[in-house]
Structure 1
Amino acid sequence: MSTLDVELNGEAVHDIDAPDSFVTDGPFPVVLDNSGRSTHVHLHFDDDLDRVARVEEGNHFVADEATRRVHVSTADVDEPVRGKLKVVTGYGSNTRYVDVRIDPSPESSNESVAVDETLSAPPERAPEAPRGQRAVNALDRLVQRGGTAGAALGLVAIAAGVALALVVDSLLVSVAVGLALMIALGAVLLAVT
C-alpha cells in the first residue's frame, strides 16, 4: 500500500512539506507528521479526484509533535484518474497541492467473476414435517438451547400454582395462576421457535 507522507511545521509554523506528485492503485493513508505545535489540517480533492477518492472528514487535528494517519478510500478505476489534493494549514494561511494519480488496480483488471445460473433460482424449501414430528423437533431445539432446566422449573412452578389455586379456591389466585400459565406458554413458544 502506498503512503502519502506530509510533514507539518517542519521549517516554520504552518509549513507544509509534501511531495509534488503521488501515484497509487488503491486506498492509501495520508500520514500527517507534525514536527511542531498542534495544528488543524484540511484535505480536499479537486473535482476529478473527488469522484474516485474519499476522505471521511476534511478537517484533521494533529497534536504537538504527533503523527496522524488519514485513510483515503478509492473506487476501482478502468483508466488512470489524475487530480490534485489540496493540503491547507493555519486556517488557510498555507496551502500545498499534490498531483495525485490513481491507476487501475492490477487485481481488479485481471479478475473476472463467474456467475452460476443456479444463483438466480429460488432456494428449495424443505418439506414440512408431520405435526407430531414438529412437536418433537421443537422440544429437541428447547433441550439443545439449554432450556431443560428452565422448562423443568417452569413445570414445577405451574404445578405449584395450579395446586395453590385448587387449595385456596379464590378467584384472584385462579386469575394469577392462569396469567402465569399464559406467560409460561409464551416463553416456551419463544424458546422453541
Structure 2
Amino acid sequence: MKRIIESGIKRSMSYDTYRDLVKELAQKSATTGHNQSEALINYTKLNDRRMKRWDKTLKVSAAARKKLEKFNSKVTWLVIAESWCGDAAHILPVLNKIAEINPNINYRVVLRDENPQLMDAFLTFGKKAIPKVIIIDTATGEVLDTYGPRPSEAAGYVNRFVAMNGGLTESFKEDLQHWYNDNKGQNVIDDITEILNHLQSSSVYL
C-alpha cells in the first residue's frame, strides 16, 4: 500500500496546477480521463466555471478557522479526482480554502484514470467514486483516514434516494447541484474539521 501511495504522491499536482489544467482543458474542449466524450467535455467546461466561482466566493467562518488552525500535525491530502466530476468541482475548492488556513496540510491532487492501482485501493462500496480524499501522515506514509466522495449530508441524500429508486435520476442530480450551491461548502468544512479534531485527539499523535 505504501508503494502505491508514494507513487500517487509523486504523480500528483498542487491545487493551483489542477485548476490551471481544468481551465486549459475547458478552453481546448477536452477533459481529463480516458473518455473524451462530448458530455464529459461539457462537464469539464461547467466545472471550470464552478470552481472559478467557488475559489472567489467560498468563506470559512472565524469559528471554523479557529478550530482548523489548532491542528498541528503534518498530513498530506492526496485527492483523487477528474475534471469532469461534478462533486469534485464543488469539494476541491473547499479543501483548498481549508489547506490555505493550516500550513500543516499538504494538499495534492491526482487523476483517477492515470492511477488505477491507487483508485482500486480506495473504492467506495466497490465503486471508483470520486473525489476521494486520502489523509496520510506525512512523516510515516500511514493512511490515517479517508473522506468522500461526497459530504456527509449529500451522501445521506444520495444513499436514501438510491435505496428507494435503485439509482440517480437526472432531476435528482440537478437537485444535488442546488444543494451544493445552497450549502456553500459548509458541510465539507464541518466534516473535515471533525476528522482533524478526531485525528488530533486520537492515539495516533499521542
TM-score by length of 2: 0.20
Structure ranking higher in helix proportion: 2
Question: Which has the bigger relative contact order, CA under 8 A and spacing at least 6?
Answer: 2
Task: Indicate the structure (1 or 2) with the bigger Cα radius of gyration.
Answer: 1
Structure ranking higher in strand proportion: 1
TM-score by length of 1: 0.21
